[in-house]
């Protein structure tokens, strides 16, 4: 990649990760499906928007992400790496095969028993994070994934 300060494109490398397709773009960064060139595994990589955050905000975000990377819970997306390639910061996590809860709710009806089960699952995941001293400050349907088996995964 010639200039990491520009928006990345398909097939470019950031660190050891080859970008495959953009999955979304949020306030803090663009999220891509990528391939780990060391082992061939598909991962999600968030490329931090440097132009939208000052150095202090970036440092704070990456500190929080590193803390969250210590969590191990089946309903919390695992952070695998926080890195830097040139002047570009990135965050690598497990890739969830599914859609956001926000998108799911636009397509399907969530019956009360299912909503109650999901609320309990999310409550347990958040309790796990809270016990580790981590508070999710932006919990919303767009930051929860529903995988192809119907399991929930808290991200961001």
Tens digits of per-residue pLDDT, 17-67?
A: 999 999 988 878 899 999 999 999 999 999 988 776 677 777 777 777 888
Greater model confidence, 87 or 23: 23
What percentage of the chain exceeds 70 in pLDDT?
Answer: 92
Is residue 138 part of the annotated active site? The answer reads: yes
| Catalytic hit among 25, 38, 97, 138 | 138
Of 19, 7, 129, 14, the residue nearest 71 (C-alpha): 129
Q: Alpha-carbon Rg of the chain, whole angstroms?
A: 16
Find out whether 32 and 22 touch, Cβ atoms under 8 Å: yes
Cβ atoms within 10 A of the Cβ of 19, count? 20
* Per-residue pLDDT at 129: 95
Cβ atoms within 10 A of the Cβ of 136, count? 18
Tokens for 119? 């609320």
Provide the sign of the torsion angle of the four alpha carbons 146, 140, 67, 46, taken in this order.
positive
Greater model confidence, 61 or 153: 153
* CA dist 143 → 79, 84, 132 (Å): 14, 24, 20
């Amino acid at each position: 990649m010639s200039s990491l300060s520009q928006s990345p494109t398909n097939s470019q490398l950031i660190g050891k990760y080859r970008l495959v397709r953009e999955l979304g773009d949020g306030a803090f960064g663009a999220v891509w499906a990528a391939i780990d060139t060391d082992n061939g595994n598909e991962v999600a990589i968030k490329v931090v928007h440097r132009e939208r955050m000052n150095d202090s905000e970036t440092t704070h975000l990456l500190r929080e992400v590193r803390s969250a990377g210590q969590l191990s819970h089946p309903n919390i997306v695992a952070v695998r790496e926080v890195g830097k390639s040139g002047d570009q910061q990135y965050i690598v996590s497990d890739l969830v095969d599914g859609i956001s809860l926000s998108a799911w709710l636009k397509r399907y009806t969530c019956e009360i028993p299912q909503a109650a089960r999901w609320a309990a699952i999310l409550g347990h995941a958040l309790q796990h994070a809270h016990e580790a001293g981590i508070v999710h400050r932006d919990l919303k349907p767009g930051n929860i994934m529903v995988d192809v088996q119907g399991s929930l995964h808290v991200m961001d």
